[in-house]
Amino acid sequence: MNRKVSLTLVVSLFVVISVKFIFWNSSEKNHTSGVCLPIIAITQIIEHPSLDQERYGIIQALAKAGYIDGQTVKIVYQNAQGNMATAAQIVNQLLSQQPKVMVAISTPSAQAALAPCLKQNIPLIFTAVTDPLEAKLVKNLTSRSESVAGVSDALGIPFQIHLIKSLVPFLKTLGVIYNPGEDNSSKMVQTLRSILAAENITLVEATASKTSDVTAATQSLIDKVQAIYIPNDNTAVSALGSIVLVAERHRIPVIAADKGSVEMGAVATYGYDRHALGEKAGHLVVQALQGTPVSTLPVLTDHPLKLFINEKAAHRMGVTLPPDMLQKAEIIGK
């Protein structure tokens, strides 16, 4: 009898423990944040105001559509600190989490993500890409077969040259700082060189393969140029503070291609609202999440340009701002 009681107690105890284990294991799965949520992976080449604003715009557009991080989706973000090898590693790490959509912010990040995403059939949405065709991200801007779409931030170079000439009358020499390893930058400089040659303006190039090279590149332009132009180049923009310090010391105007650079000390730009571009990319991500084939989504290229001016920067660099320009600009740093 005692042996039967003991056996019954052992069996009962085993059942209780088993039930508790099963219940605990199930609760742990449900309690673990994001385990069952669809994943949106974001890869970014480096952090600087323009790219960061686009990322914020993406996240805000997702939230407005009900895709809220930690509630209805899990957003996983990493940046490569300007290193292409790291960018490739990040893509592989993000893809191992089986995201529903990969979002690449910048040309280098999109290029690193392209082949792995196509191989694993993961939709790729890019933004902050100047020339998607030159970067070989897509073969066509309208009709495509690949699951790749996004937002191009290509700027009309003539607008930029007109702005520079308005700020620096009788311009004869213009410096440009860029990373020749960035395809978008190399293509832009090629276009810039061609247009300036037609206007008898000499382009003086200073290259920087990493942010630590930017100060030396800027100093190499001193006494050679009347102004410095910073394109949508992630390496140069990330080290814009160094460029501004040298330019202010020598009273050389710095004109940029994006609003974030003007906020950081460049004199002016005809540029885009980067947050708005991010929102456009976010809308594409939403459509992908809702099941729209990404191959049917557009590559967006038409965005309104706006004039941004930093009055304090203009004063420090010795630039006289035309009154009519001030009237139509958004003023930063009054």
CATH number of the domain to which 191 belongs: 3.40.50.2300
Q: CA-CA distance, 62 to 286, in Å (whole number)?
A: 6
- Note whether 320 and 229 are same-domain residues: yes
- Note whether 256 and 194 are same-domain residues: yes
Does the residue 50 lie in any domain?
yes
Does the residue 229 lie in any domain?
yes
* DSSP E strand stretches across the chain: 39-44, 74-79, 101-105, 124-129, 148-152, 173-178, 202-207, 227-230, 254-256, 268-271, 299-300, 306-310, 330-332
Domain count, the chain: 2
* 6-24 pLDDT per residue, tens: 444 443 443 333 333 322 3
- Note whether 314 and 326 are same-domain residues: yes
- Note whether 90 and 221 are same-domain residues: no
Does the residue 17 lie in any domain?
no
- Give the mean pLDDT of 108-122: 97
Q: CA-CA distance, 81 to 294, in Å (whole number)?
A: 28
Does the residue 13 lie in any domain?
no
Whether 35 shows a pLDDT value over 60: the answer reads no
What domain range includes position 260? Answer: 157-271+306-332
Whether 1 shows a pLDDT value over 90: the answer reads no
- Note whether 111 and 185 are same-domain residues: no
Whether 26 shows a pLDDT value over 60: the answer reads no
Output the CA–CA distances (angstroms, integers) from residue 164 to 100, 126, 228, 276, in the order listed.
43, 30, 9, 25
- Note whether 80 and 121 are same-domain residues: yes
* 211-247 pLDDT per residue, tens: 999 999 999 999 999 999 999 999 999 999 999 999 9
- Note whether 133 and 168 are same-domain residues: no
% of the chain at pLDDT higher than 90: 83
Residue 127: which of 61, 209, 189 has the closest Cα? 61
HEC string for 212-248: HHHHHHHHCCCCCCCEEEECCCHHHHHCHHHHHHHHH
Q: Secondary structure of the chain: what % helix, strand, coil (to 5)?
A: 50, 20, 35
- Note whether 82 and 208 are same-domain residues: no
Q: What is the pTM of this model?
A: 0.84
- Note whether 294 and 322 are same-domain residues: no
Helices (H), 239-273: 240-250, 259-263
- Note whether 111 and 234 are same-domain residues: no
Residue 104: which of 113, 96, 93 has the closest Cα? 113
- Give the mean pLDDT of 83-103: 97
- Note whether 280 and 230 are same-domain residues: no
User: How many CB atoms lie under 10 A from the CB of residue 64?
Assistant: 13
